[in-house]
Chains A and B, each alone.
Chain A
Amino acid sequence: MLENRRKILKRIVEATAVIGAVLIMPKLAFAKWSKAFDADTTEAAMTGLFNNTETIASDKVFLKVPEIAENGAVVPVNVKTDIENVKSISVVAFKNPQPLACSFTIPEGTDSDVSIRIRLFETMDVQAIVETHDGKLFSVQKEVKVTIGGCGG
């Protein structure tokens, strides 16, 4: 009987923990996605995401993109930075129907070095934006020539 009660109690505690985790975790983990990703101008996207449209050109932000992308549907992008106190790293593709491509939150302990593959609608400038905790935006941009556009088809 005693054994049984212990088991039941243990189950209750476990179940409560699981329910608690389910209720709390998604909110913690998924709280950042912003309507800015659906914005159709760079300005609206920047305002939505950073509440700031002013970027400072920086030689401490490194953007690696191919000069010529044969297939606009899969363009490898790597962004790195030597800047400290990084809050987020974002990629903007100016001439895409929705310019904001992606944004990564960089918690302390995570490297400011991310790779992803994005689509480019046509030949355009791609910009990497590094946001610091004091609200500044550092950026660098590079042109990618696209042979076959990658959004429609």
Chain B
Amino acid sequence: MKVKAKVKNDKVKVKLLVKHPMDTGLQKDKNSGDLIPVKYIHELSCVHDGKTVFLASFGRAVSKDPYLAFSFSGGKKGDTLSLKWVDSMGDTEEFEAVIK
């Protein structure tokens, strides 16, 4: 996961990119010709200071390597953001980002 969080005009602007195939179940494996099973991120959360400031739920229509941008108030430079996603197969990734 790549996360950029910056304070601008009293708000924290967060941009993030998750490395994930977001398989829809419609694509075929190029070598075997078999369908690649469905595997996509269900939810991604961003927690600041114990509070969930953003919660995204995804369907399979979200592009491969999902990109998200949002902003929230109340964060300051040096604070930590805890991000986490979980996918349809139960895989997860956690990430901490420092606000710049």
Q: Which residues of A contact B (CB under 8 A)?
A: 25-26, 28-30, 32-34, 37-38, 73-75, 91, 93, 96-98, 100-107, 109-111, 113-120, 150-153
Closest to A75 in B: B63
Flag if A107 contacts B51 (CB, 8 Å): yes
Flag if B62 contacts A104 (CB, 8 Å): no
Size of the chain B interface, CB-CB below 8 angstroms:
34
Which A residues are in CB contact (< 8 Å) with B43? Answer: 29-30, 32-33
Flag if A111 contacts B71 (CB, 8 Å): yes
Flag if A110 contacts B70 (CB, 8 Å): yes
Which B residues are in CB contact (< 8 Å) with A120? Answer: 61
Tell me the minimal C-beta distance from B9 to chain A in angstroms. Answer: 11
Which A residues are in CB contact (< 8 Å) with B55? Answer: 29, 32, 104-105, 107
Q: Is the interface of B mostly helix, strand, loop or mixed?
A: strand
Flag if B71 contacts A102 (CB, 8 Å): no
In the complex with contacts A30-B45, A104-B55, A114-B68 CB distance below 8 A? yes
A119 and B55 alpha carbons, distance in the complex (Å)? 20
Closest to A25 in B: B47
Tell me the minimal C-beta distance from A94 to chain B in angstroms. Answer: 11
Flag if B63 contacts A73 (CB, 8 Å): yes
In the complex with contacts A105-B55, A151-B24, A151-B26, A111-B62 CB distance below 8 A? no
At the interface, yes or no: B84 with Cβ under 8 Å from chain A?
yes
Flag if B62 contacts A118 (CB, 8 Å): yes
Which B residues are in CB contact (< 8 Å) with A25? Answer: 47
